[in-house]
A = this chain, B = another copy of it.
């Protein structure tokens, strides 16, 4: 049994700091590195890739919409080809820092509103998949477990890492419970632990309505932009490892 812990990294910009990358990096295995559109800049990217390398963490591109003001979290209308080309641009930019650091690019995970759109919109999913495939068909695409994008990417022959959020509740249909629902975010670390262990033992989670739902997954996402992120990352990692589950970068065979 094995899994991967991924986290958004390198989301600072110029003099602005977001996240505690130095504290979180030791506990994760895959870093989704912002590429300068929704967050990140060339200096930050260079530093983030170096930090990931130091900790043996897999490096992935985390492309978003060109909307620093909205942090890539709000919907932006795009015309055909724009999502694909936005992603190509950002993968390439990050790849230059990986190359410069002697690190192989491992994965791509779209950010924020682009991630959410691709999870359910056919055109967006297709453009995400095309961008990854044409850049390098060996790259792993990280996407929401059970989503349209996960299905389409598999069908297209891409390696897919299906993602689960250990501190989030799920609906009966396997989709994330929206943050607006009571109980959507699980704040108690003990409860997070229990759910994780159950998921690994049984392949199932209890939905927000109390049903048992099956969830196939390849990577766990920890959010890096709240102060306690590194502690949650550590808790998750220790819980998994003390239960005999190997936590390794998704790209390691």
Contact = CB atoms under 8 A, between A and B. Distances in A.
Interface string A91-106: 1111111011000000
Given A77-B76, A78-B74, A96-B135, A85 B13 contact: no
A125 B17 CA distance: 30
How many copies, total? 4
Contacts of A71: 14-15
B85 A46 contact: yes
A69 B15 CA distance: 7
Interface string A77-94: 111011001101111111
Contact of A92 (B13, B76, B92): B92
Contacts of A68: 13-14, 68
Interface stretch (A36-44, A150-158, A184-192, A197-205): A36-44
Interface in A113-149: 113, 134-136
Interface in A182-221: none
A96 B100 contact: no
A45 interface: yes
Contacts of A78: 74
A89 B135 contact: no
A85 B45 contact: yes
Interface of A: 13-18, 36, 41-43, 45-46, 66-71, 73-79, 81-82, 85-86, 88-97, 99-100, 113, 134-136
